[in-house]
Structure 1
Amino acid sequence: MALTDSNVLKLAPDAPNPAYRSAPHNIEAEQSLLGAILVNNDAFYRVSDFLEPKHFFEPLHLTIYETAGSLIRMGKVATPVTLKTFLPAETDIGGMTIGQYLARLASEATTIINAQDYGRTVYDLALRRDLIHIGEDMVNVAFDAPVDFAPRAQIEDAERKLYELAETGRYDGGFQRFSQALTVAVDMAANAYKRDGKLSGIATGLRDLDTKMGGLQHSDLIVLAGRPGMGKTALATNIAYNIARAHHAEVQPDGTMKSVNGGIVGFFSCEMSAEQLATRILAEQTGIASSNIRRGGITELDFDKIRNHSIELQSLPLYVDETGGLSISQLTARARRLKRQKGLDLIVVDYIQLLQGSGKRSDNRVQEVTEITTSLKALAKELAVPIIALSQLSRQVESRDDKRPQLSDLRESGSIEQDADVVMFVYREEYYLTNKEPRPGTPEYAKWQLDMDLAHGKAEVIIAKQRHGPTGMVELQFEGQFTRFSDLAQDGHLPERTY
């Protein structure tokens, strides 16, 4: 239908003509800041740790700030006289030359005291412009998305850009007085004194391990490694369950909830499905072998026990992401989302070698793993939570007589060992002895039987690296049919059971 005067949309008489909205900016704040810098170069150092040239809206102001910064960093003085040499002389600013404009900036400058406030204003407006650009990109990509570009991928890409924007160039960082850090340290000690177990970190629920480590410390990257069959996933699952089960939160003065015991757990299970993970936890808690649960080889009493425990487990603050082939950027985005929506006190990643770098598939796997471990450590610091990242060990362990792992056995070990705050190995002598059973009736068999009796049901957690405490070994009880680690019975006392 052709448009005629009668069907053309007309604006109300008092409505303004439609026009493009100008991006958020404040030219006066930019001028005042630049003027303060030209009058007193110390003003530059009040803003230079967070304010970059790109944050200025006016291109000329960007050039002035960048040039002044270069002069000041070289130990020279940035004034209208010295600056105009490095700026295009033919520039016309409302009938003024560049020299006249610089002189006017300096003559109308505010005091250095206000420089930081003006700098924050300029930065915040730049942040809003960046938010607008991200929003425009989201709209444009959503309209013209390629066939193979999933909407979920766009959401994760947008989240990544938003968090990069939030974390880059923040002006709330920088130096702090030592007294502030000291106060935090004393508060941590006081909280540890009041907390169950007297631990500074989150209790794993394994007594001897907690004693050795002081619990899982906030912002730590804890690498848990072992050869296949050692039980590293079982140990990580046990710790995750113990922490989720012990969770208790209290309302803070600002109205937010804070975990005071245990914690909310995010478990990235890149290898096992959520159902397999749930089966393991059910087997551990009910004392019914996981193989029997899967095959249905259970009695009516067993089923009642499983049902009762499953009702209890439903309320656990344990969240599982079973997505395979996750990239480190996807994992980071999902962890941030969980922290924002539900809260988060511990992340478990099973395991490092199944993650991918954020870029295209790299032929250099060592470089890719370096990116992954560096990003995990950065995520632990950003969210202020411990991250337990499981890792494989190289096959060179199998070629040694003593098969206890060492730091050099970590696959792509350079970055893993360097970035980790704690490196722990799981080792079970019983696993290797079982595979070396001699012929019955021989002298070797008698010795093997003795060794098996000593090693049966025992596991070693070898703490090979720990920034905050001693290295060493902790012995645990391991029950393979229930995939359960527990405290080793000492002095004739049996460890507590939960069923």
Structure 2
Amino acid sequence: MSQISDPIFSEVAHATARAVRQPPYDVEAEQALLGAILNNNMAIDKVIDLLKPEHFSDGTHRRIYELCLSMYGHGDTADPITLRRVMGGTPELERVGGGGYLDRLAASVVGIINAEQYGRLIYELYIRRQLIGLGEDVVNESFDDTLELNADQRIAKTEESLYQLATTGETARGFTPFKTALKLSLEMADAAHKASGLSGVTTGLIDLDNLLGGLHNSDLIILAGRPGMGKTALATSIAYNAAYAKSEDPDGPGAVTAFFSLEMSAEQLATRILSNEAQIPGHKMRTGKMTQDDFNKLGAAVGALEKVPLFIDDTPGLTVGAIRTRARRLQRQANLGLVVIDYLQLLSPGVSSRRESNRVQELSEMTRGLKILAKELNVPVLVLSQLSRAVESRDDKHPQLSDLRESGSIEQDADMVIFVYREHYYKKAKRPQKKDGEDEGRHARALEEWEDGLKATEFRAEAIVAKQRHGPTDTVVLHFNGEYTTFGNWTDDDHLPYGG
């Protein structure tokens, strides 16, 4: 037979071949695995953590595997005889020739040893089929002008779908022998001893580290407070301190840090950090009222900070799925060790959320997703959160767990809850006003007491650890510098570090 030389005809032939390409599957692999299971049900143990019925390409094979799992789970034997009683006469079985097909499957046994290999091949082909389907959906939805999604939302939806697909085959950890768990516990205690009590990521704040032992892997930490308390400033200080410690000692308690800022821009966060490090007030930097000496300080500070492994993502309206995808990517690229999110109420619900769900349900889903993220990445996830207005209606403005805004699941899912509180913020708004008929001297004394109270609390802040799964709850005093919008260690003549 002569070869076709017409270039136009050849191009049409290639296009036709591309158009009729079939999704990847391997019926023989599916038959071989089912044969192994029908001969020895213990072959299920080799694949049960990875393989689900929907991973089979053939509908009959899907049903057979589903029945095998069910029977094995109930302690029954799954073989051609028992399956024939259940499937006899069904469309799935009749489609492949009836009960005799089960006998032929059992005859195609490959041995229990090869079951896992075939299971992985079936799963791999399933993932490839899903990727093809996802790619087609992306193309079709991108052409569709009727969808109420903008470009960023379309990208977020695709990222979330890809992440869900990427984690489909993550098997459960299963049982950990107590001997292994003991060894891990001993290693943790030894690391904490060598790091002077720090078993987690440092916050850079001595008293807070002494109380918490650092921020622990797989923990969801909620940092909450009313507006004006300094939540973002404290989170920025912790993020920078952890990243700076990592740059100084790669094997120390620091961490490569991802800061997802849904409220402030990357430039604004960098300005805060630079302002503190160069000791130049932020308002001078913003208004350009700097001397040549100030510029020299800035240059020196920038040179010192460039090596700090702090990564800022200021994309607004991210979903938990999008954060998960970006954090996983950074973990692969730079060994991510800490995630900070500012803040919970600015996250967008996932594209899969039901339209009729209310805000409480959405927040519950998001906090649950963030806890799963902490466990998946095995890093601390520090999330900022607003508090309800109930704080303002009380004489004592110290926040409580019941003040967590809009959802009780925040407290439930969190491993640790820390409140930020600055008495100075409230004192400043309570300047004594002279009442009708009030003695001038009495008013002057009240004004003097108020001014003394302002001075005493100006730089004082509290980090109230209201919940901690791994240790005690208590209040830690911190130093707050409003000029540079940063937190530091509290020091005075009577102060001893926490536990000292």
Distance 1:96 1:205, change over 3 A: closer
**Separation of aligned partners in 2, 1:445 and 1:492:** 27
Instruction: Return the letter of the residue paired with 2:242.
Output: I
Residues 202 and 214, structure 2, Cα contact 8 Å, conserved in 1: yes
Give the CA deviation at 1:458.
Answer: 0.6
Q: Which moved more, 1:412-421 or 1:94-103?
A: 94-103
Residue in structure 1 matching 2:367, options 362, 370, 373? 373
Mapped contact 1:270–1:324 kept (Cα < 8 A) = yes
Alignment of 1:213-362 (within 5 A): 213-248=212-247, 260-358=252-350, 359=353
Instruction: Identify the match of residue 485 of structure 2 among 483, 486, 489.
Output: 483
Corresponding residue of 2:205: 206
Single out whichever of 377-386 and 340-349 deviates more from structure 2. Answer: 340-349
Is the alpha carbon distance of 1:200 and 1:81 closer, same or farther for their aligned partners in structure 2, counting shifts above 3 Å? same
Tell me the alpha carbon deviations over residues 191-245 of structure 1, each in whole angstroms, 9 at most, x when there is no partner. 33344x4411111110000000111111111100111111111111111111121
Q: Which residue is equivalent to 1:254?
A: none
Q: Could you tell me which amino acid in structure 1 is paired with residue 131 of structure 2?
A: L
Q: One-letter code of the match for 1:428?
A: R
Aligned pair partner of 2:456 in 454, 457, 466: 454
The 1:179–1:136 alpha-carbon spacing in structure 2 relative to 1, beyond 3 Å, is farther
CA distance in 2, matches of 1:76, 1:394: 55
Change (3 A) 1:91 1:479: closer
| C-alpha contact (below 8 Å) 2:59/2:92 kept by paired residues | no
**Could you report, residue by residue, the CA deviation over 1:42-100 in whole angstroms, capped at 9, with x for unpaired residues?**
33344333311111122221111112223333443322112112225376989984222
Q: Secondary structure at the match of 1:345?
A: strand
| Equivalent residue runs for 1:75-474 within 5 Å | 75-89=75-89, 97-142=97-142, 150-171=150-171, 173-195=173-195, 197-248=196-247, 260-358=252-350, 359=353, 364-439=358-433, 441=441, 442=443, 443-474=445-476
Report the alpha carbon displacement of residue 379 of structure 1 after superposing the two structures with TM: 1.1
Question: Structure 2 CA distance, aligned partners of 1:115 and 1:375?
Answer: 34
TM-score scaled to structure 2, two decimals?
A: 0.87
Q: Given the superposition, is the C-alpha separation of residues 260 and 457 from structure 1 closer, same or farther in structure 2, using an over 3 Å criterion?
A: closer
CA contact under 8 A between 2:461 and 2:480: conserved in structure 1?
A: yes
Equivalent residue letter for 1:391: S
Query: Distance in 1 between the 2:248 and 2:45 partners?
Result: 42
User: CA 1:373/1:171 → structure 2, altered by over 3 Å: closer, same or farther?
Assistant: closer
Inter-partner Cα distance in structure 1 for 2:107 and 2:5: 56
Distance 1:360 1:340, change over 3 A: farther
1:66 correspondence with 2:58 = no
Structure 1 residues 31 and 406: alpha-carbon distance in aligned structure 2, compared to 1, 3 A threshold: same
Shift of 1:283: 2.1
- Counterpart secondary structure, 2:307: coil
Q: Distance in 2 between matches of 1:71 and 1:6?
A: 59
1:157 shift after superposition: 2.9
Structure 1 residues 85 and 287 mapped into 2: Cα distance closer, same or farther (>3 Å)? same
CA contact under 8 A between 1:273 and 1:322: conserved in structure 2?
A: yes
1:54 maps to 54
One-letter identity of the residue aligned with 1:322:
D
Deviation at 1:416, TM superposition (A): 0.6
State the Cα deviation string for residues 151-175 of structure 1 (Å, max 9, x = none): 5544433332222122124346322
Q: Give the secondary-structure state (helix, strand or coil) at the position aligned to 1:247.
A: helix
Distance (Å, rounded) in 1 between the aligned partners of 2:211 and 2:85: 64
Any unmatched runs of 5+ in structure 2?
A: 434-439
Letter in 2 for 1:204: T
Contact 2:26 2:122 in 1 (8 A): yes
- In 2, the alpha carbon distance for the partners of 1:5 and 1:246 equals 68
Tell me the distance in 1 between the aligned counterparts of 2:10 and 2:346.
60
With 134-143 and 26-35 compared, the bigger mean Cα shift is at 134-143
Does the CA contact (< 8 Å) of 1:248 and 1:260 recur in 2? no
Q: Is the CA contact (8 Å cut-off) linking 1:226 and 1:426 kept in structure 2? A: yes
1:362 CA displacement: 5.5
Aligned residues: 482
SS in 1 for 2:483: helix
TM-score w.r.t. the length of structure 1 is 0.87
Residue type of the alignment partner of 1:487: N
| CA RMSD of superposed structures (Å) | 3.2
Opposite residue 368 of structure 2, the aligned amino acid is T
**Structure 2: distance between partners of 1:163 and 1:208:** 38
1:390 is paired with a residue whose SS is strand
> Residue 89 of structure 1 contacts residue 97 of structure 1 at CA under 8 Å; is this kept in 2?
no
SS of the equivalent of 1:201 reads coil
Q: Retained in 2: the 8 A contact 1:90–1:97?
A: no
Distance 2:289 2:482 in 1: 17
1:90–1:345 distance in 2 versus 1, CA, 3 Å:
closer
Assess if the C-alpha contact under 8 Å between 1:336 and 1:383 holds in 2: yes
